[in-house]
Amino acid sequence: MEQNKIVIANWKMKRNLAETTALLKEFKAEFKDFGKEDAVICPNFISLLEAKKVFEETKLKLGAQAVFWEDKGSFTGEISATMLTEVGCEYVIVGHSERRQYLLTNYEMIHKKTRAVLRVKGLTPIICIGEQAEDRKSDRRDFILIQQIQQSLAGIEVVKGENIIIAYEPVWAVGAGTTLEPEEAEYAHKIIKLALNDMFGMKTVNESFRIIYGGSINSENVEAFIKEDNLDGFLVGGASLDAKEFKKIVDKVL
Ligand code: PGA
């Protein structure tokens, strides 16, 4: 069975604890009658516990923005997958392009993180892939995407009931204010799906994977993307910092 679409908010490091607490309350109010399962909010680490409390009476799900690949030990500053579930996270972003850029997270690490997340029941990895502007210009995009998929997931066995989200985020479109054409996103998603089918088989891919798009999505431009067949949802940055705007996106997609 194919899965529902999903919309994920990535608040990045854009709000402090007090601001996040206020924002969480706005989301709680905006989503009080929301009855679906597939809207996820990823605040910063220090706000997760507060978010868990505020969202208790809502259907909103909680996600984290990063994770480490070991479960416990001398890894100063890191947070493990099991720790994330303790604060109510059901999702975690793995290898966001900003972490690939500023913290030199590479696909070997993304692979280890993905394995660590899948070991923990009830936690779904949101694996970020996407080409740089130069790759697109030089026609290397397809190759880059296939390589990123293979490096993230090679040798990983996906069993029934496990979920994996692939977020296709062209690096040049993240936070840029411009998206690519929906047809181009659809094409990239098809390439990603073919690569996944090759590795896991179509049945597993249909049952366990969702391929979502991210990069300057808002309540206006999202409509054109929804029409495409292979877009299973969205990862939203900037436009997710406003409860009404994010709700509009969610209402259009879900
Ligand atoms: P954006 O961010 O919507 O602001 O482009 C998306 C992301 O970084 O996930």
Active-site residue (options: 30, 96, 98, 111) = 96
Active site residue 111: no
Q: Which atom of ligand 1 is nearest to the CA of 216?
A: 5
Q: Give the tens place of pLDDT for each residue, 227-239.
A: 999 999 999 999 9
Cα–Cα distance, 61 to 17 (Å, whole number): 19
- Cα dihedral value 13, 15, 18, 20, nearest 10: -100
Q: Give the tens place of pLDDT for each residue, 162-197.
A: 999 999 999 999 999 988 999 999 999 999 999 999
SS3 sequence of 59-117: CCEEEECCCCCCCCCCCCCCCCHHHHHHCCEEEEEECCHHHHHHCCCCHHHHHHHHHHH
Task: Tell me which residue of 157, 215, 159 sits closest to 188, measured CA to CA.
Answer: 215
* Closest residue to atom 2 of ligand 1, CA basis: 237
How many angstroms does the Cα of residue 9 sit away from the middle of ligand 1? 9
Q: Which atom of ligand 1 is nearest to the CA of 167?
A: 9
pTM: 0.98
Q: Pocket of ligand 1, candidates 174, 179, 222: which has the most ligand atoms within 8 Å of its Cβ, to mutate?
A: 174
Q: Give the tens place of pLDDT for each residue, 89-144.
A: 999 999 999 999 999 999 999 999 999 999 999 999 999 999 999 999 999 999 99
Active site residue 189: no
Q: Pocket of ligand 1, candidates 236, 240, 242: which has the most ligand atoms within 8 Å of its Cβ, to mutate?
A: 236
With beta carbons less than 8 A apart as the criterion, state whether 200 and 150 touch.
Answer: no
Ligand 1 proximal residues by C-beta, below 6 Å: 10, 169, 174-175, 214-217, 235-239
How many angstroms does the Cα of residue 65 sit away from the middle of ligand 1? 12
Q: Which atom of ligand 1 is nearest to the CA of 215?
A: 5
Residue 69 pLDDT: 98
* Closest residue to atom 3 of ligand 1, CA basis: 237
How many angstroms does the Cα of residue 127 sit away from the middle of ligand 1? 14
DSSP 214: E
Residue 1 pLDDT class (50, 70, 90 cuts): low
With beta carbons less than 8 A apart as the criterion, state whether 44 and 15 touch.
Answer: yes
Cα–Cα distance, 186 to 175 (Å, whole number): 20
As to burial, measured by CB atoms within 10 angstroms (0-12 exposed, 13-18 middle, 19+ buried), residue 31 is: buried
How many angstroms does the Cα of residue 160 sit away from the middle of ligand 1? 30
DSSP 37: S
Q: Give the tens place of pLDDT for each residue, 75-103.
A: 999 999 999 999 999 999 999 999 999 99
3-state secondary structure of 240: helix
* Closest residue to atom 6 of ligand 1, CA basis: 237
DSSP 232: -
Active-site residue (options: 30, 162, 169, 189) = 169
CB within 8 A of 246, min separation 6: which ones?
Answer: 7, 9, 27, 30, 236, 239, 240
Q: Which atom of ligand 1 is nearest to the CA of 175?
A: 5
Cα–Cα distance, 148 to 194 (Å, whole number): 13
CB within 8 A of 163, min separation 6: which ones?
Answer: 3, 124, 208, 209, 210
Stretch (H or E) spanning 207: helix 202-208
CB within 8 A of 4, min separation 6: which ones?
Answer: 36, 37, 38, 254
